[in-house]
């Protein structure tokens, strides 16, 4: 049976998902999208062949609704949708912090809800999406969510009480790597390299390191030790990283992201 999926709120994540689903073999005719601005909706229609509809039309006609608005917009979107969503629809939230209880309270009693935290590497089919079931979501609903998000990368089921931590690690995670590349490229400039060359050296080093982390089966400590020669160059850099508290800074940074995700749970915090 054909399953219609609607993506409501087509910003960065709300575009990455249907585009990845189409790359993964989904039929554009089975995908509906909603946007606040008509020109954005038309852009997606011309780019992917998906069908723009209103939020209410999506709620009435799609088998699965994926809500990819900002957490702060989730309350008003649910107020708009709730009267139109039959209780047999699967509702998936992709928003940071928003709990399945938040959705269940605003939807018809018994509506199956799934919470997913993905990340922007969905754009290149390398997303990490963590998935948790709400009260009424069945194994089939989780499998369906995995089929959808599996089109753009890896999926992992987690208990919902780990979602805020996962948001800090993988939801926000790409930003930390981009930040590192940016900072290391600045270091290259300081050391006298042209920016474009510094960028290429760092990006290829990042790709090589990421591939080794994924494919070698080695612990990251071992991989780092293999680079760190006695009385060599790397240990001098590592000493500076430790002197500047980079490890502690990362731990504090991810804790702050986790805390903000918890804070967003109300769906109203600016
Ligand atoms: N960016 C990221 O790396 C990640 C984001 N997320 C989560 O995904 C969600 C979306 O984030 P992101 O894509 O970055 O945000 P964007 O701001 O890019 O996208 C949100 C979109 O929702 C639209 N929107 C808001 N209200 C409505 C409405 N009532 N009806 C239809 N469309 C609406 C906005 O329209 P308009 O353009 O007119 O404002 C905007 O296009 C957030 O909840 C975020 O927590 C999850 C993982 C990673
Ligand atoms: O910064 C944010 O709130 C979103 C959620 C995870 C990544 N970006």
In the prediction, which pLDDT does 266 show?
A: 79
Q: Is 168 contained in some domain?
A: no
Residue minimizing CA distance to atom 5 of ligand 1: 13
Tell me the CA–centroid distance for residue 95 and ligand 1, in Å: 8
Phi/psi at 188 (5° precision) = -60, -40
Q: Is 108 contained in some domain?
A: yes
Ligand 2 in reach of 96 Cβ (< 6 A) = yes
Is the backbone of residue 56 left (phi > 0), alpha (psi -120 to 50) or beta?
alpha
Contact status, residue 18 vs residue 73, Cβ threshold 8 Å: no
- Tell me: do 28 and 112 sit in the same domain: yes
Judge whether residue 178 has pLDDT over 70.
yes
- Tell me: do 73 and 15 sit in the same domain: yes
Q: Is 269 contained in some domain?
A: no
Three-state DSSP state, 172: coil
pTM over 0.90: yes
Final residue before a domain boundary, out of 142, 163, 184? 163
- Tell me: do 138 and 187 sit in the same domain: no
- Tell me: do 182 and 135 sit in the same domain: no
Atom of ligand 2 minimally distant from the CA of 95: 5
Three-state DSSP state, 8: strand
Final residue before a domain boundary, out of 163, 198, 226? 163
Averaged pLDDT for residues 205-216: 98
Q: Return the residue matching tokens 């959705």.
A: 103
H/E element, 5 = strand 5-8
In the prediction, which pLDDT does 269 show?
A: 64
Q: Is 92 contained in some domain?
A: yes
Tell me the CA–centroid distance for residue 73 and ligand 1, in Å: 8
Atom of ligand 2 minimally distant from the CA of 117: 6
Tell me the CA–centroid distance for residue 196 and ligand 1, in Å: 32
Ligand nearest to C-alpha 164: 2
- Tell me: do 193 and 95 sit in the same domain: no
- Tell me: do 159 and 179 sit in the same domain: no
Render pLDDT for 107-146 as a digit per residue (tens, 0 to 9).
999 999 999 999 999 999 999 999 999 999 999 999 999 9
Ligand 2 in reach of 118 Cβ (< 6 A) = no
Judge whether residue 1 has pLDDT over 70.
no
Distance of CA 155 to the CA centre of its chain: 11
- Tell me: do 38 and 93 sit in the same domain: yes
Averaged pLDDT for residues 42-51: 97
Judge whether residue 267 has pLDDT over 80.
no
- Tell me: do 47 and 133 sit in the same domain: yes
Mean pLDDT computed over every residue of the chain: 96
- Tell me: do 159 and 38 sit in the same domain: yes
Q: What is the CATH number of the domain that holds 245?
A: 1.10.3730.10
- Tell me: do 143 and 13 sit in the same domain: yes
In the prediction, which pLDDT does 142 show?
A: 98
- By residue range, what is the domain housing residue 186? 173-262
State how many domains the chain has.
Answer: 2
Atom of ligand 2 minimally distant from the CA of 119: 7
* Burial readout 10-49 (b: 16 or more C-beta within 10 A, e: otherwise): beebbbbbbbbbbeeebeeebbbbbbeeeebbeebeeebe
Q: What share of the chain in percent tops pLDDT 70?
A: 99
Residue minimizing CA distance to atom 19 of ligand 1: 11
- Tell me: do 20 and 96 sit in the same domain: yes
CA 51 to each of CA 39, 62, 65, 171, 196: distance values in angstroms, whole numbers, following the listed order: 13, 11, 14, 28, 40
Q: Is 39 contained in some domain?
A: yes
Q: Is 74 contained in some domain?
A: yes
Final residue before a domain boundary, out of 140, 163, 186? 163
Q: Is 120 contained in some domain?
A: yes
Q: Is 268 contained in some domain?
A: no
- Tell me: do 151 and 228 sit in the same domain: no
């Amino acid at each position: 049976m054909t399953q219609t999926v609607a993506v409501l709120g087509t910003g960065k994540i709300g575009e990455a998902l249907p585009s990845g689903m189409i790359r993964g073999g989904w039929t554009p005719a089975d995908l509906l999208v909603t946007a606040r601005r008509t020109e954005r909706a038309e852009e997606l229609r011309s780019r992917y062949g998906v069908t723009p509809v209103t939020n209410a039309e999506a709620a009435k006609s799609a088998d699965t609704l994926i809500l990819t608005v900002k957490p702060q917009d989730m309350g008003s979107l649910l107020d708009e949708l709730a009267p139109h969503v039959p209780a047999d629809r699967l509702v998936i939230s992709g928003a940071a912090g928003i709990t399945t209880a938040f959705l269940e309270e605003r939807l018809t009693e018994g509506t199956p809800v799934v919470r997913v935290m993905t990340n922007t590497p969905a754009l290149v089919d390398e997303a990490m999406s963590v998935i948790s079931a709400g009260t009424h979501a069945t194994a089939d609903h989780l499998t369906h969510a995995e089929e959808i998000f599996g089109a753009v990368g890896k999926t992992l089921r987690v208990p919902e009480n780990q979602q805020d931590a996962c948001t800090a690690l993988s939801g926000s995670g790409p930003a930390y790597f981009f930040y590192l590349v940016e900072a290391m490229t600045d270091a290259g400039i300081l050391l006298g390299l042209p920016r474009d060359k510094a960028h290429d050296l760092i990006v290829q080093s990042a790709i090589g390191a990421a591939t080794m982390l994924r494919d070698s089966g080695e612990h990251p400590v071992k991989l780092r030790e293999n680079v760190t020669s006695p009385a060599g160059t790397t240990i001098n850099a590592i000493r500076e990283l430790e002197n500047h508290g980079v490890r502690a800074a990362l731990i504090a940074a991810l804790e702050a992201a986790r805390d903000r995700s918890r804070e967003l749970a109300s769906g109203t915090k600016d």
